[in-house]
Amino acid sequence: MQTDSFITIENFKERTIEGNLYPQIYSDNDHCTELHPVTFDATELVLSLTLPEIQDLANGAWSNEQIENRLVPIDAQIAHPYNPYRVDFLVEGVCQFFNLKAAGEIITNEAYQAARLAHRIGEPKRYMVKVERTVTQSMWLEVQASSLKQAFESALNDAADCDFNDGHTSEATYGIDEVQEIESSTDARKLRPRP
């Protein structure tokens, strides 16, 4: 139940809406194995929804597909780009966030607005995004070996001494490794690596 003492911006600042993402691996016979769950923060995505949408989510009216498509943050998706996954505990996370004790309990507009203010939903924010640039360089090495395994090992050992500028360089690919919201310009300076 949402009491007036519960519905404060300060109270909501300390709370998050979390879910669990279970990466899945399928074998040849379509048997699914779930890996250890990864907890993710969906607070910003959930609070960006309308109040009726959040109420429906809290009441369990959203399908798993809707939750996966709209409420799994991009950083959680990036961490598991090639694996299917299952999302769990997000509905419970919404209920805990809004202090809902019983199914069908109503989220008040006051609680919704206080939560959005506490998490600065709709306000411009600053982020530090760690971008990785990957360039693959390859070249042929001639090695003498008595087996394929030994040829691999010799090539890997010899590679450290090679000048790859004579080889082939692929187009660079870019990926996001990490995202952090920053509160102020002083935080941005702390996150930048020093030369």
Q: What digits encode the pLDDT tens for the residues 117-151?
A: 999 999 998 988 888 888 888 888 889 988 888 88
Q: What is the dihedral of CA 48, 51, 53, 56, to 10 degrees?
A: 140
Question: How high is the mean pLDDT of the chain?
Answer: 85
DSSP annotation of 89 = S
User: Phi/psi of residue 139, each to 5°?
Assistant: -160, 160
Say if residues 96 and 55 touch (Cβ distance below 8 Å). Answer: no
- The one-letter code for the residue type at 34 is E
The torsion region of residue 94 among left (phi > 0), alpha (psi -120 to 50) and beta comes to: alpha
Report how far apart the first and last C-alpha atoms of the chain are (Å, whole number). Answer: 52
- Please give the Cα distance from 93 to 158 (Å, whole number): 53
The pLDDT, as a whole number, for residue 110 is: 95
Kindly report the pTM of this predicted structure.
Answer: 0.69
**Inter-CA distances, 116 with 51, 74, 86, 164, Å:** 11, 20, 27, 52
Band of the pLDDT at 189, cuts 50, 70, 90?
Answer: very low
